[in-house]
Every structure is written in C-alpha cells, then in structure tokens.
Structure 1
Amino acid sequence: MNPPIGSILLGSTDPGRLRAWYETAFDMKADGDGFLRFGEVGVLIDGRDDVAPRAAEPRVIINLHVKNARTLAERLDGLGVTWITELEYREAGGAWFATLEDPDGNVLQLIELGPDYWRLRRERLGHGHGGLLGAAAVASRLPAQDLERARAFYAAKLGLEPAEERPGGLLYHCQSGSFALFQSAGRPSGDHTQMAWRVDDLDRVVAELRERGVEFEEFDMPGFTAVNGVVEVRGDYPSHGGVGERAVWFRDSEGNLLGVGQSI
C-alpha cells in the first residue's frame, strides 16, 4: 500500500503571521479549510504549543517546483527573505535551485526543472522504454486530399510556409520539431487531436489566428470549462512546469483536428 501525501502541517506559535507571509510570498490565499494549495498538496499552518518560535534544524525541507524561479526569487528578495543558498543554475542537474527560510525558520527549496534536466533524465534512464526509438527524432504527418489547398490554408491562416517540399509532400519547421503534409486519398476522422503546438501566450496566438480567419471548435463537455472557445484542462506533464493547460482546437482545410495549448 502506497498512501499519497494528502497535506503538510507546519506548526507555529504565530500561525496568522506565518500564513500571511506565505500568502504574500507566493501570491495565494488559503482555501476554506485553511490549506495553502501547492499543486495537489495542501500546506496547513496551525498553532501549536509544543514547538519553538523558530525551527531548530531543517529536518524537513519543502521542495517547491516552480515555473520561473528567477521571477519568484526577485519577489522574495523584496520581502527580505533569508537565503541559505541563493538562486543558482546547476548544470549537473539541469535545474535552478535556491534554499531559503520562512519567518519561523522552516526551510523551503525552489526548484525549476529546465529542458536540460529532462534531457539528462532521458539519458539516465536509457531513453525510457523506447529502445533505439527513444533516441530518434519525432515528426508529425498530416494527410491532405488537396495539397495545394492545404498549402494555401497554412500560409494564409497560420502564417506558415513549407521549409522543404517533394512530390506529394510539404515539410514545415517550427522552433521545436517539424511536421509534414502529405498527399493522401484518405480522410482524417477529426475525432481526436492529430497535432498540437505548445505556446507561451495563448491569448495572443488565438487573437492573431482569429484575425486570420481561423474558426475554433466549441466544446461543451462535463469536467471542462470553456470561456470564449478556450478550454481549461486539469493536469499537465511535469516537464511543462504547470498544473493544468488552457487549450483551443481548430480544423485545417483537410479536416485535421489541431490544437494549441499553454501550461498554467
């Protein structure tokens, strides 16, 4: 049996002061039960008469996995926090680390896992369970019944031009990865996302695509919240650094269902 960690309790002689510091430091509010929600784990700050005003030694260190450690470190600097280890990039681990004390002397560690961390992890694990394919590049393929019609759609609606072409195929390069359109007599089902882009500013991308005439799909599904066509999805992959995702979907001229998402 492997029970999950449901919450962490920080005992304090002045819980109100300590709770207020956490709310200010990390720009959050305690929920109705008094928990500060760090992802799936809640931190409860409660008054106790069996603890000292300051922690004697850091037997427990709370690791906070953050999306932008530098921005958060600047915020904490403004609060005058005591740094045990100032923010630094550790090449051996491919991540940003910093260690600090809260007002009661509890020790927190900020960790931002960057692309190098995930690359090193893949190498350490032998490219996962994919064998030789784990070390190979991945590229998407999208069918097009009318390749010239598809070329025109991607140019006019998405602002994308093929980097290379061959008989029956168009190859596109993005900042990370590539995809190809290929001449095909088959039709995509359009029942699932066939390819997606991950962006830093979804609202800006959606506004630009709408100006270009892209029509987004409307979804009304249980468990999903949609606002102006943008769907909020719970959960995200750890390497994306988020707790969820905002996403939109649209179809290209050939009926392929495509998505655009941003981690939150």
Structure 2
Amino acid sequence: MRRKIALFVDGLAQRLARSARIHIMVRDGRHVDESLQPVGDQLYPQAVRIQFCGSAAASPGGGVCREAAHQEDPMLTSASVTANIPAADLARARSFYADVLGLRPATELGDAGVLIYHTDGGTTFSVYQTDYAGQAGHTIAQFHVDDVVAEARALQAKGVALETYDMPGVEWDDGIADMAGMGHAAWFKDSEGNILCLDSGYPEG
C-alpha cells in the first residue's frame, strides 16, 4: 500500500517544479494505515488531501501551499436532474410553450438566453437559445401525465401534429401509442423541432 501511495506521489511530483514539495495527509493528518478501506482484495485510502508547496526560493513571498482533494467513488444519488431544451428562436419557443402547452417561465435570464420552468408536478426544466435546436432526432423530454389520450387530443385541437414511429409490438390509434404494459404515449414536436413526449410515467417496480 505504501508503495502505491509513493508511486502516486511520484507521478504528481513529475508535474511540479523541482523546487516544489508535496505533503500527503489522509483524513486531516492521521496515519495512512488508519483510513484504509477494502476494495475487493485491495486496500485504498478513503480520502486523501494533497498539499502542493512551492519553496521559499521559488516564491518571493515565501513557500505557498495549496490543497487538492481526492475523494474515492463520488456519487450523484442526492442530485436532482433537469431537462434542457434547445431553441433556435427563444421568443417563438416561449410563445409555443405558453400558448400550446400552457407553460410559462418562472424565471427569464434574458442576457443568458434561458427560460426556466417549474411544473405543478414539482420538476424544473429550461429552454435555452442555441443554433443547434431540433437536430437531436430523439426524445428531448417526457411529460408524465395522468391521461395521455386527453392531453394528446387537446394538443391536436390546437393544431399540433402527433408523430408516429415504427416500434415493434406497439399499437397506434391516431398518433397515440399503446405501449402494452407501459401505458400510453404520444410524441410531438415543439416550435423548434424538438421531439417531446406525453406518457403515463415510468412503470413501478
């Protein structure tokens, strides 16, 4: 284990000036062996704090140290996820989402070209200005609704065309897909050519 840490330090040292020195401390200076964690049949430090210290000769103000944190296995389990929908014409997209989908931005970042939306379902998504809108060729965002058929027919009444695709095992009824054990779904394009979907939500389990 000590050899592995020594090799790790040696690799870092090669990237620093000859006058620099490196200190490694594990968990606020405690001994390395006290914070080893098993990973398979190997032992690795759970957290390492590295100090890069320039020598007094290399730094007019004396030795200067800075730290870099190294944490094993970062996890995103507590993160939230949002959809970012591209728009070639932000004003046109804003009108479509308001007039057709009934969605109005909660926040408008005019200088950044971003509209931020909050839904009653507790989720957030954004529409942002870009020249690359409508080029994905796949579903950009899904709206989980209680009644796909009713929502899809309401969109059709506003002049929105529903998309159909060649999907084995799926039955279509005027643009609405019966996804067997996954409920219904309907695809359509927004004003920017992005493919959006109405569906019954992810199956439980």
Structure 2 residue 160 is matched with structure 1 residue 222: no
CA contact under 8 A between 1:219 and 1:226: conserved in structure 2?
no
Once the two structures are superposed, residues 192-219 of structure 1 have per-residue CA deviations (whole angstroms, 9 ceiling, x without a partner) of: 1110011111122112222222211122
Aligned residue for 2:139, secondary structure, equals coil
For residue 159 of structure 1, the aligned residue among 102, 105, 109 is: 102
Aligned residue for 1:213, secondary structure, equals coil
Structure 1 stretches (4+) deviating beyond 4 angstroms? none
Structure 2 residue 142 is matched with structure 1 residue 204: no
Question: 2:29 maps to what in 1?
Answer: none
Question: 1:21 maps to what in 2?
Answer: none
Equivalence map 1:23-102=2 (5 Å): none
Question: 1:248 maps to what in 2?
Answer: 186
Q: CA deviation at 1:220?
A: 3.6
Q: 1:131 to 1:230 in 2, by over 3 A?
A: farther
Question: 2:195 maps to what in 1?
Answer: 257
Question: 2:7 maps to what in 1?
Answer: none
In the alignment, structure 2 segments of 5+ residues that lack a partner are: 1-72
Return the alpha-carbon distance in structure 2 between the equivalents of residues 218 and 244 of structure 1: 17
Aligned residue for 2:161, secondary structure, equals coil
Return the alpha-carbon distance in structure 2 between the equivalents of residues 185 and 219 of structure 1: 26
In the alignment, structure 1 segments of 5+ residues that lack a partner are: 1-129, 235-242
Question: 1:171 maps to what in 2?
Answer: 116
What is the number of equivalent residue pairs in this alignment? Answer: 127
Q: CA deviation at 1:248?
A: 0.3
Counterpart AA for 2:128: F
Aligned residue for 2:183, secondary structure, equals strand
Once the two structures are superposed, residues 43-101 of structure 1 have per-residue CA deviations (whole angstroms, 9 ceiling, x without a partner) of: xxxxxxxxxxxxxxxxxxxxxxxxxxxxxxxxxxxxxxxxxxxxxxxxxxxxxxxxxxx
Question: 1:189 maps to what in 2?
Answer: 135
Return the alpha-carbon distance in structure 2 between the equivalents of residues 169 and 149 of structure 1: 13
Once the two structures are superposed, residues 134-160 of structure 1 have per-residue CA deviations (whole angstroms, 9 ceiling, x without a partner) of: 201111101111100100111111111
CA contact under 8 A between 1:220 and 1:226: conserved in structure 2?
no
Return the alpha-carbon distance in structure 1 between the equivalents of residues 159 and 80 of structure 2: 32
Counterpart AA for 2:171: T
Q: CA deviation at 1:225?
A: 1.0
Question: 1:139 maps to what in 2?
Answer: 82
Structure-1-length-normalised TM-score: 0.45
Return the alpha-carbon distance in structure 2 between the equivalents of residues 245 and 190 of structure 1: 25
If you compute each CA radius of gyration, which structure gives the higher value, 1 or 2?
2
For residue 149 of structure 1, the aligned residue among 92, 103, 108 is: 92
Q: Percent identity?
A: 38
Structure-2-length-normalised TM-score: 0.57
Return the alpha-carbon distance in structure 2 between the equivalents of residues 250 and 230 of structure 1: 10
Q: 1:219 to 1:166 in 2, by over 3 A?
A: same
Aligned residue for 1:176, secondary structure, equals coil
Return the alpha-carbon distance in structure 2 between the equivalents of residues 211 and 187 of structure 1: 25
Aligned-pair Cα RMSD in Å = 1.9
Once the two structures are superposed, residues 89-124 of structure 1 have per-residue CA deviations (whole angstroms, 9 ceiling, x without a partner) of: xxxxxxxxxxxxxxxxxxxxxxxxxxxxxxxxxxxx
Aligned residue for 2:167, secondary structure, equals coil
